[in-house]
Each structure stands twice: as structure tokens, then as C-alpha cells.
Amino acid sequence: MSLPSPTQIAQSGPDKLRIVWNDGHESVYPVRSLRLACRCAHCVEEFTGRPLLKADGVPLDVKPLRLQPVGRYALQFEWSDGHDSGIYTYEYLRQLCPCCAEAAQAPK
């Protein structure tokens, strides 16, 4: 099975980002949630995994200003709060998909 990769990426309203994946799945992310999910060394302690980013330090209206592909495996966001060092792999973005996360937590 191939890894997920985006075929379309677009804003979906002022506070949502929409990604259509190569398997046809569509993910719609609240952009602030994506910013809070950053795993870079500024946001997560590298050795312990302890979160360093405080949610109250991220503006409610934060939004991506620019997206850049990183190779064929990730996206790098430039955020309106000045943060730009996080790399979100396609696999991680798919894990963050709100509907996929809900399905994974649903009782079986």
C-alpha cells in the first residue's frame, strides 16, 4: 500500500484547510489545530516529547501564510504568528485528519 499524499490543498473558509488525498479521502482541518500540532524542536522537547508550545500563546486567528512541499513526503507551513520551522509529514497530517482521528477512537 502506498503512503498517502495530497492531490489538492486549499483554504476552505477563513479557518480551515482542505486536503484531498491520492486515495480520494478528503480532510478538512481547523488551521489552529494544525498549528498546535507542530512537532518541531521549538514546540516539542526533542528528547522527552514534552510539549513546549502553550496553546494560549497561539492566536485564535492564526493561519497559514504559505505552504511549501518538503520533498515528496511533507509540507512546511509558514504561520501568521511567525512560526515556520515545523514539518508535517503526509503520514502525520493524515493521522491528524479530524474524521480519521474520530474513527480511530470510536468503540469497535
So what's the pLDDT on residue 46? 92
Task: Express each pLDDT in 73-87 by its tens digit.
Answer: 999 999 999 999 999
Reported confidence tier of residue 2, pLDDT bands at 50, 70, 90: confident
Cell output for 36: 498546535
- Average of per-residue pLDDT values in the chain: 92
What residue ranges do the domains of the chain occupy? 6-105
**In b/e form, how buried is each residue of 27-54, taking b as 16+ CB within 10 angstroms?**
bebebbebbbbbbbeebbeeeeeeeebe
Element (H, E) at 39: none
Reported confidence tier of residue 51, pLDDT bands at 50, 70, 90: very high
- Residues in CB range of 29: below 8 A, 6 or more apart: 16, 17, 18, 19, 93, 96, 97, 98
Degrees to nearest 5, angle at CA 66 with 65 and 68: 160
What mean pLDDT do residues 93-107 have? 76
Cell output for 47: 528528547
Residue labelled with grid coordinates 503512503: 3
CATH architecture of 6-105: 2-Layer Sandwich (3.30)
Tell me: pLDDT of 26 over 70: yes
